[in-house]
Structure 1
């Protein structure tokens, strides 16, 4: 972390200093349980809890300073050392922006390069971030988000992990409204901006797909004339963003689009479902082959995006292809494959879901499941707004047309998916509706057989990723009544 004294934090955030001005935090946390000796605790109001209620716990764990919106008194009646600001989250952003500026200045003064890469899109952000970070880490010190730290809190926390030794800073950018990505781009000033796709995720919150495209394009609008915009030319809405940036445009395509400098030639999947292709880069380097360890043909686009961004960052093609061919999934619940000892295969892709990623996961299930009994355990896709019933209906129809053996729909919000599957011709044992996750667990635990292939897919808050984890464990035999309860 770049060092800031309490006095500097107050100046940068326009806050009121109520602490020793020389206190210099060693890290930044927003969860009091993660506080360590010397940390700065950010007391932010939350949806379910107010961080100010945990200031004492943070200091008990070693925090030496807090960034808060009102003073908090300790057991002795004295206020905890703090910088008091109007908005703690915006103050975090201001501090992160200054950290990026200082890192860039320090490295330039030392004759060293510093590259910031921003990634956005309706699907694939985390996978692409992980892939890109994996490539860049072979070239120099690289900082990237944990999991899906991609918002107004997660992005600053990622920045605070960087310092003057950082060569590459990879930032994942999410949004739920117009202006969110512009705010993040203004904060980190990316040199390279990657836009993966414009889907229907969060369409309800945005007010339509057009507004999603407008929001995602804020990333390339924030690039300077010396920057590079990496655009998915297979997505018409993304391709149109070339007119919204002053940066150099580098397009990528898995479908042979004209003008794409980065392409996948002869893309295919092997019997294990891993994508393979010959990689074409603008440098014209020959014999670049990518044989990925990820699961699903839909990852070709993510692999190409990571390759394009790596090329823009100056990485040689042979190093890009080699790294992409060795990396496995770095973040949990993204097409995560588990082989049970009894021969059941679990594919847990339930970190999140939207219509595009749901269809891609189901196609992968169908491809991998040839000759096996396949199960699709599906929950709701949230935040789709007025399109929710229609999109769930389309997925239910797709399950039947892909000849998935068994469908288990979990939760009332996903019921239109179940209804459409029944109407398409799936009934009896082929299609089941489970009111709760526990009901689904009992059904699966009782009926899964050796050789079955099971996909779990839903939006994050539905919780099917945890059901997938439970099913990935050895099957639980029912407890006999004589052992599990007293007989009356």
Structure 2
């Protein structure tokens, strides 16, 4: 974080300052801000956030041991560290993030890019980070730091020399993206797609669209909205951009896109596509598996162009990426038995894309195996959407479908009803049971997809399989 005095931080957060021995109101703090005491180093600021399982106030001693210079708390603790007591620590770090970004923007060249969408946010963020870090100091979230806590913590990492801040903006209810984007007033806003992810929280896909559109509505006049021309709900957001005098740059497969992809070829070694960038032709050779990642790469490229990066430099950076993120189309195992661990997140769109990728990369003489778990937060469409995935798996002629967890049972029942027989589809209550089965079932030439939402925990099953066949 930029250097601020204790008095300034107290004023920004609206908190009550309690000084420890040796500190004054003019004492300067500039360490990292975090809610995890394990991440606190010398001069750090520890945010004691109450949680559902535990309470951050209990970890103030651990933060002090790590070198914390300040604790932002909701109640004063009997620990020897300066504390700022606020009514709500989550709102306090949001206020602090807003102020810090505004100060850096005033004195420097900082440009802010926000990214949202039902799928692909983290992959697109990582791709854009790899492009921009070649151009200047870049701050981007770790993992999926995209909520009311993670997004401000990322924003607070900017310094006076930061040139690019990438904000991944997630939400499971209306208004959340507006609040997060409102902290930074992004110069560029990227909307990837509108799908059924978190549909239960939004109350339907049209409400999801309005929630994602909040990012476009947060872009100041003269800024740029980067929109998916192939998703009609995203394309409709151009109207909101026009009302705010915001420029629109398109990506997709349609002829009108500023960054257009054609001739996409997916293989076990990566994904190759032909790109037309503002009328100029390029070839993109991604090492990341899956046709759907071409769309993420297009979005990152379009955003990079909006902040002045050349197409050649951006494409070269994209081609250097070997892994989008751990547990996202992560290739494991060996040539004998290849494991594709894609079990960090799952929506109906992402599940379909992963299954189609499995079919595309499995060659003659090789066997497809799909290990599938539940998709989370689908609300009233839960059974219907799981059933559709079972139907697709059978229609793709996947000869071994392994379904794990009771929440995914509708997927298994659908596969059976569609015509999967002779144990082509099997069901297990637990990942351990599935692991034992797979260790006896998998054979040379198998190409195994492990796919589920994070909550289903199959990413760890994918890790175990990857290690067993490495």
TM-score for both structures, normalised by structure 2: 0.95
Deviations 1:88-117 (A, max 9, x none): 00100110111111111111xxxxx32110
Cα 1:399/1:330, change in 2 over 3 Å = closer
Q: Secondary structure at the match of 1:404?
A: coil
User: How far off its partner does 1:6 sit?
Assistant: 1.2
Q: Does the aligned pair in 2 maintain the 1:273–1:367 contact within 8 Å? A: no
1:354 maps to 347
Structure 2: stretches of 5+ with no match in the other structure: none
The Cα shift of 1:210 comes to 1.1
Number of aligned residue pairs: give it: 461
SS in 2 for 1:327: coil
- The match for 2:75 is 70
| Secondary structure of residue in 2 paired with 1:441 | helix
Q: Distance in 2 between matches of 1:397 and 1:15?
A: 55
For the residues of structure 1 that align with 2:439 and 2:82, how far apart are their CA atoms? 53
Three-state SS of the structure 2 residue aligned to 1:407 is strand
> Which string of whole-angstrom CA distances, capped at 9 and with x for unpartnered residues, describes residues 117-152 of structure 1?
000000000110111111111111111111111111
TM-score (norm 1): 0.92
What is residue 340 of structure 1 aligned with on the other side?
Answer: 334
Query: 2:276–2:282: 8 Å Cα contact kept in structure 1?
Result: yes
Q: Which residue of 2 aligns with 1:482?
A: none
More deviation, 16-25/351-360: 16-25
Matches for 1:102-251 after TM superposition, within 5 Å: 102-107=103-108, 113-245=109-241, 246=244, 247-251=246-250
Q: 1:353 aligns to what SS in structure 2?
A: coil
Instruction: Find the aligned partners of 2:71 and 2:285 in 1 and give their Cα distance.
Output: 48
Q: Which residue of structure 1 aligns with residue 373 of structure 2?
A: 379
Question: Does the 8 A contact of 1:274 with 1:297 survive in 2?
Answer: no
The corresponding residue for 1:454 is 448
Kindly indicate whether the alpha-carbon contact (under 8 Å) linking 1:23 and 1:64 is maintained by their aligned counterparts in 2: no
Which has the higher mean CA deviation after the structures are superposed, 386-395 or 427-436? 427-436
- After TM superposition, give the deviation of residue 22 of structure 1 in Å: 3.0
Name the SS for the 1:38 alignment partner: coil
Asked whether the 8 Å contact 2:412–2:425 carries over to 1, the reply is yes
Aligned ranges 1:401-420 → 2 under 5 Å: 401-420=395-414
Aligned position for 1:56: 61
2:390 counterpart residue number: 396
What is the DSSP-based 3-state SS (H/G/I as helix, E as strand, rest coil) of the residue aligned with 1:128? helix
* Equivalence for 1:97: 98
Query: 2:333–2:468: 8 Å Cα contact kept in structure 1?
Result: no
1:441 paired with 2:446, answer no
**Contact kept? 2:40, 2:68, Cα under 8 Å:** yes
5 Å-filtered alignment, 1:206-355, equals 206-245=202-241, 246=244, 247-254=246-253, 256-257=254-255, 259-264=256-261, 266-272=262-268, 274-282=270-278, 284=279, 286-340=280-334, 343-355=336-348
Aligned equivalents of 1:446 and 1:358: distance in 2? 25
Are the aligned partners of 1:231 and 1:239 in contact in 2 as well (CA < 8 Å)?
yes
Greater Cα offset, 458-467 or 321-330: 321-330
CA contact (8 A) 1:349 1:457 kept: yes
Cα contact 1:194–1:229 (8 A) shared by 2 = yes
Asked whether the equivalents of residues 116 and 190 of structure 1 are also in contact (C-alpha less than 8 Å), the reply is yes
Pairing 1:32–2:31 present: no
Q: Is the Cα contact below 8 Å between 1:279 and 1:321 reproduced in 2? A: no
CA distance in 2, matches of 1:350, 1:409: 13
Cα distance in 2 between the residues matched to 1:161 and 1:80: 22
Q: Alpha-carbon deviation of 1:475?
A: 5.1
Conserved in 1, the CA contact under 8 Å of 2:327 and 2:344?
A: yes
CA distance in 2, matches of 1:289, 1:225: 33
Which residue in the other structure is 1:485 paired with? none
C-alpha deviation, 1:80, in angstroms: 4.0
**2-structure distance, mates of 1:155, 1:189:** 13
SS in 2 for 1:260: coil
How much has 1:367 moved relative to structure 2?
A: 1.0
* CA–CA separation in structure 1 for the residues paired with 2:46 and 2:266: 48
